[in-house]
């Protein structure tokens, strides 16, 4: 987990604009004070909170959590497969976490895809899952029905990759704000809209750099 404090624009303006006769009072917007960036990635800076697994209709009782990659496919050899992903321990008052009540300015989920496929939608999970989750334990997989997962998709990808692997970025700002506001963090589900599987590297993959990563920029509300 990494923290990058940013200086207020009002501090930087005199340095960069003084030679032009401009000041921070010239109508320029001021950045929010104490904006911070934190990052969560399995095995980086001691973070061990990533939980991800694949569930598959053709292996309804099989635990696939230890696989180094995950595949989401509406027709994986005749049965749907879905990917579940969660970053535990990201909300809290300890250093390196997102404080409760923080204002989330940006949250990006990065995954390294290595097999292009159909369009994939990312939905916020509304029910919990654990490392031993299976197709059966989640009652015939996950549906984006407003009960198991949000009807509204956080983001999507067309499923295409540029080379042998591509870093795919999902904008998850709204969901992380919901968690910072106090709702339970149950992670996400990746749902493929077609029968061409889309694969990405999971948190068990050997190359740490290609494991799923969550990057969040936030600030704390100013005291009244």
Q: What is the pLDDT along the chain (224 residues), one digit of tens a residue?
A: 554 444 333 333 333 333 333 333 434 344 445 899 999 999 999 999 999 999 999 999 999 999 999 999 998 889 999 999 999 999 999 999 999 999 999 999 999 999 888 899 999 999 999 999 999 999 999 999 999 999 999 998 887 766 566 899 999 999 999 999 999 999 999 999 888 889 999 999 999 999 999 999 999 987 65
The backbone region for 46, taken as left when phi is positive above 0, alpha when psi lies in -120 to 50, beta otherwise, is left
Query: What is residue 33's predicted lDDT score, i.e. its pLDDT?
Result: 55
Q: Are 46 and 19 in contact (CB under 8 A)?
A: no
Nearest to 132 by CA among 62, 72, 59: 62
Cα distance between residue 106 and residue 176, in whole Å: 9
Question: Distance of alpha carbon 186 from its chain centroid, rounded?
Answer: 11
Per DSSP, what are the bridge partners of residue 70?
Answer: 200
pTM across the whole model = 0.82
Query: What is residue 12's predicted lDDT score, i.e. its pLDDT?
Result: 37
Task: For residue 163, count other CB atoms closer than 10 A to its CB.
Answer: 6
- CA distances for 224 relative to 91, 182, 220, 221, angstroms: 23, 21, 12, 9
Query: What is residue 141's predicted lDDT score, i.e. its pLDDT?
Result: 95
Per DSSP, what are the bridge partners of residue 85?
Answer: 52, 188
């Amino acid at each position: 987990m990494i923290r990058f404090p940013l200086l207020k624009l009002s501090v930087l303006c005199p340095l960069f604009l003084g030679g032009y006769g401009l000041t921070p009072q010239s109508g320029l917007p001021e950045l929010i004070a104490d904006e911070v960036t934190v990052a969560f990635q399995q095995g980086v800076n001691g973070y061990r909170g990533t939980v991800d697994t694949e569930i598959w209709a053709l292996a309804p009782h099989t635990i696939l959590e230890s696989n180094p990659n995950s595949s989401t496919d509406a027709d994986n050899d005749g049965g749907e497969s879905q990917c579940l992903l969660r970053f535990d321990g990201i909300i809290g008052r300890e250093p390196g976490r997102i404080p409760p009540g923080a204002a989330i300015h940006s949250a990006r989920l990065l995954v390294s895809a290595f097999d292009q496929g159909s369009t994939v939608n990312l939905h916020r999970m509304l029910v919990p899952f654990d490392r031993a989750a299976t197709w059966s334990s989640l009652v015939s997989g996950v549906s984006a029905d407003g009960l198991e997962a949000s009807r509204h998709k956080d983001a999507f990808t067309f499923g295409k990759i540029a080379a042998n692997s591509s870093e795919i970025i999902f904008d998850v700002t709204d969901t992380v704000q919901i968690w910072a506001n106090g709702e339970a963090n149950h992670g996400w589900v990746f749902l493929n809209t077609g029968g061409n599987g889309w694969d990405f590297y999971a948190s068990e993959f050997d190359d740490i750099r290609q494991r799923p990563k969550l990057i969040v920029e936030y600030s704390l509300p100013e005291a009244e």
